[in-house]
Amino acid sequence: MDIILETRALTKEFKGFVAVNKVDLQVRRGTIHALIGPNGAGKTTCFNLLTKFITPTSGQILFNGTDITHEKPAHIARRGIIRSFQISAVFPHLTVLENVRVALQRKLGTSFHFWKPERSLYGLNDRAMELLREVDLDRYADLATHELSYGRKRALEIATTLAMEPELMLLDEPTQGMGLEDVERVQHLIKKVSANRTILMVEHNMSVVSSIADTITVLQRGAKLAEGPYAEVSRNPDVIEAYMGSASTELQGAH
């Protein structure tokens, strides 16, 4: 069971336009696997297929050897495939601790027990603090979330995702829109939380990809163009041509 997630000829068409074209993907357990490619390559569509936000036109998705192609998003999440934005920190006026506690409630299935007194949730505080320590946010536990920097809000999203006990974490552009300091913080964080988990991520920042990804799959026009470790993929002539110009320079420069 080295392969935790596999797709076989995964395809998605939108009114004649092929967004994902017969993609074969194998994600090894315990690794960080990055999906990269130029704009319009099909990366986000591929993510949406894996989490069943959209339905494949054809092909298969297997998780731990089980065909999940036709399962609903809630079933996928219960199996342990959690996408970062699904449990994102969307409560800016709650404290950092309270946001993680809400995510822990979701895992317990008690999210809608509003009639329970707040003190009934205090039993979740220890686990919430453990998760905050894991993402280096424990000293901000009592801070209102809207006061966090953008990078630390993304770290909080990772903490709330971890609260769902994912077996496979899907991170969609985890460093998008960040300054250098926040990028380095979140890059370190992803590496840290990957210790006992599998991570599949879409990421544009080639410096991040080159630093932490074990395997890279390059998509172009919805199809798989290349796959392998960064050192190999970054020298692939087809990949360099696909990125072109400044992007290909960035691809080489991050090595």
Per residue of the chain (255 residues), give pLDDT as tens: 699 999 999 999 998 899 999 999 999 999 999 999 888 889 989 989 998 889 999 999 999 999 999 999 889 988 999 988 655 556 889 999 999 998 888 766 555 555 455 555 667 889 999 999 999 999 999 999 999 988 898 899 999 989 888 999 999 888 888 888 888 988 999 999 898 899 999 988 888 999 999 999 999 999 999 999 999 998 899 888 887 544 444 565 554
Q: Which domains does the chain have, with CATH numbers?
A: 1-80+167-255 (3.40.50.300), 87-165 (no CATH)
What is the reported pLDDT for 86?
52
Residues 6+ apart with CB under 8 A from 236: 218, 225, 226
What is the reported pLDDT for 105?
83
Euclidean distance between CA atoms 19 and 160, whole angstroms: 30
Instruction: Decide the pairing of beta strands 32-36 and 168-172.
Output: unpaired
| Cβ–Cβ < 8 Å for 47, 23 | no
What is the reported pLDDT for 38?
84
Query: pTM here?
Result: 0.86
What is the reported pLDDT for 123?
75
What is the reported pLDDT for 52?
86
Helices and strands (H and E) in the chain: how many: 10, 10
Strand order in the sheet with 168-172: 81-83, 168-172, 198-202, 32-36, 215-220, 223-228
What is the reported pLDDT for 102?
86
